[in-house]
Amino acid sequence: MPAHEQSVADEFNRYLGEHAARFGMMFKPFALSGQDRDAAADYLVTTASRFSLIEFKYRTSNIRDESAKWRRRKLCVSLEKNSIMRRLHDMCHYLVWLDTRNLQPQTNVYRHEVCNQSIFGVASGLKAIAPTDRLRMTAEEFSADFFNSNSPHGLSLADFEKYLVWLMVVTSGGPNSTLELMCRDEGSSIFSYKVFSSVREASNWLYSSKT
Residue 23 lies in a domain: yes
Between CA 129 and CA 119 the distance in angstroms is: 9
Tell me the per-residue pLDDT of 133-148, one tens digit each, with 9 for 90 and over.
Answer: 999 999 999 999 899 8
Specify the pTM.
0.94
Residue at 147 is within a domain: yes
- Quick one: CA torsion of 117, 74, 69, 130, rounded to 10 degrees? 20
Q: How far apart are CA 72 and CA 40, in angstroms?
A: 7
Domain-located, residue 202: no
The total number of structural domains in the chain stands at: 1
What is the domain-level CATH number for residue 16? 3.40.1350
Antiparallel, parallel or unpaired: β 43-46 and 51-59: antiparallel
Residue 166 falls within a domain, yes or no?
Answer: no
In a domain, 175, yes or no: no
Q: What pLDDT does residue 208 have? A: 83
155-187 residue pLDDT tens: 999 999 999 999 999 999 999 999 999 998 887
pLDDT of residue 189: 81
Residue 102 located in a structural domain: yes
Secondary structure (DSSP) of 161-202: HHHHHIIIIIIT--S-SS--EEEE-TTSSS--EEEESSHHHH
pLDDT tens for each residue of 25-44:
999 999 999 999 999 999 99
Domain containing 58 equals: 5-160
Asked if residue 55 is part of any domain, the answer here is yes
Cα-based torsion angle of the residue sequence 104, 105, 106, 109 in order, rounded to the nearest 10 degrees = -170
> Does 188 reside within a domain?
no
